[in-house]
Amino acid sequence: MLLSLVLHTYSMRYVLPAAVMMGTAPTYVLAWGAWRLLSALLPARFYREVDDRLYTIYQSMVLFFFENYTGVQVIIYGDLPKNKENVIYLSNHQCTVDWIIADMLAIRQNALGHVRYVLKDGLKWLPLYGWYFSQHGGVYVKRSAKFNEKEMREKLRAQMKAETPMYLVIFPEGTRYNPEIPKVIADSQSFAEKEGLAILKHVLTPRVKATHVAIDTMKDYLDAVYDVTVAYEGTVDHKGQRKLAPSMTEFLCKECPRVHIFIDRIELKDIPEEQMYMRRWLHERFEIKDKLLIEFYDAKDSKRRNKFPGKSVHSKLSLKKTLPSLLFLGGLTASMLLTESGRKLYVKTWIYGTLIGCLWVSIKP
């Protein structure tokens, strides 16, 4: 009985946040949908401005749970500018929380509403979220030979034409680094060796296509590229071997005490334009990431482990930036659920919103 109570208490650590974040999604989609219809006759930039503000509200609520609720310490290294910029954000990829890390940095630059993702194609089928991410400026891409360069360029050009602020998040590895699936790591290392590239230990060999298309298409629109390296503390077992990075559920259960983020701001003039040379440049950036992570996980001196080299700042997110969004969205959702007509609208939004979204993304990229 005691064990059951402990397990129940543990599960409640993530059930409540997950219920609120998922539960407010229909409310958010209804608000966004109303604005989408009202703004149909207005210039695209007006729609984007309000859409970005709405997205800021929702993601601020998400960050309330992932930062304020969990109490995780966010340690930042390197040169994160205080002001918002049009950027491409390149990061190593190891778990779903990596998406939230981009939000953590963006909110500290007052650019949270500008975050847009390059995502693998299968995620477009997520109920409500998949459709909305596309509407917000996200780009869905297929891997390898199925990658559609023309579609991606057209979508990015449309964003630039609408003067959309850009905080475009790309994970060049194409899939997550998972120590529990050694075959993926081995295949990545074999490919690097075959291509005459340095073999990487703590990251996968990056793919250049999406990065090249994004930089090449927006080179006159961007201010910089952020090269971001992320490490989650507590992901080494008793033998000193790297473990799987925390899932969103584990993160919300407060299993990650600190997250370390190293940012290197790169000027566009320092990046080769041709894809062949950019591929080499991108691999060199991932070599730098690998060295940082080797220091973090494998340093011989135990005092140098669990941190990146150089100066760091413990950055705490104020409740003023997150709690109002939680109260606003939570209040709207609760008021909807208090009436019978509101509950019917809520359920219909989940059902029909999902069906319309799936139909939309199957027709339009």
> Residues 6 or more apart from 59 whose CB is under 8 A from it?
103, 107, 112, 113, 115
- DSSP labels for 4-18? HHHHHHHHHHHHHHH
DSSP bridge partners of 88: 168, 225
Cβ atoms within 10 Å of 341's Cβ, excluding its own: 8
What is the distance between the alpha carbons of residues 124 and 85, in angstroms, rounded to a whole number? 27
Residue type, 307: K
Helices 97-107 & 44-63 angle (0-180, nearest 10): 110
What is the SS3 assignment for 115?
A: strand
- Tokens for 49, please give them: 């401005």
Nearest to 364 by CA among 63, 46, 130: 130
pLDDT at residue number 3: 43
Where would I find the H helices in the chain? 2-23, 25-38, 44-63, 97-107, 129-135, 149-161, 182-194, 209-218, 248-252, 275-298, 323-337, 340-363
In the chain, % helix, strand, coil (3-state, to 5) comes to 55, 15, 30
Structure-token match 């799936």, residue found: 358
pLDDT at residue number 358: 87
- For the chain, give every domain's residue range: 1-363
Helices 323-337 & 2-23 angle (0-180, nearest 10): 90
Displacement of CA 147 from its chain's centroid (Å):
20
Displacement of CA 12 from its chain's centroid (Å):
25
What is the distance between the alpha carbons of residues 132 and 145, in angstroms, rounded to a whole number? 26
Angstrom CA distances, 39 to 29, 129, 226, stand at: 15, 21, 33
- Tokens for 212, please give them: 């090249």
- Tokens for 181, please give them: 């699936």
Evaluate whether 97 touches 260 at the Cβ level (below 8 Å).
no
pLDDT at residue number 177: 96
Angstrom CA distances, 70 to 14, 66, 121, 249, stand at: 10, 6, 31, 11
Residue type, 239: K
DSSP letter assigned to residue 242: B
- Tokens for 83, please give them: 């002001």
Can you give the pLDDT of all 365 residues of the chain as single tens digits?
544 544 455 567 888 899 999 999 999 999 999 999 998 888 878 899 999 999 999 999 999 999 999 999 999 999 899 889 999 999 999 999 999 999 999 999 999 999 999 999 888 899 989 889 989 999 999 877 678 899 999 999 999 998 999 999 999 999 999 999 999 999 999 999 999 999 999 999 999 999 999 999 999 999 999 999 999 998 888 777 899 999 999 999 999 999 999 999 999 999 999 999 999 999 999 999 999 999 999 888 878 888 999 999 999 999 999 999 999 999 999 999 999 999 999 999 999 999 998 888 888 75
Cβ atoms within 10 Å of 14's Cβ, excluding its own: 20
Nearest to 165 by CA among 221, 225, 210: 221
- Tokens for 62, please give them: 């998400």
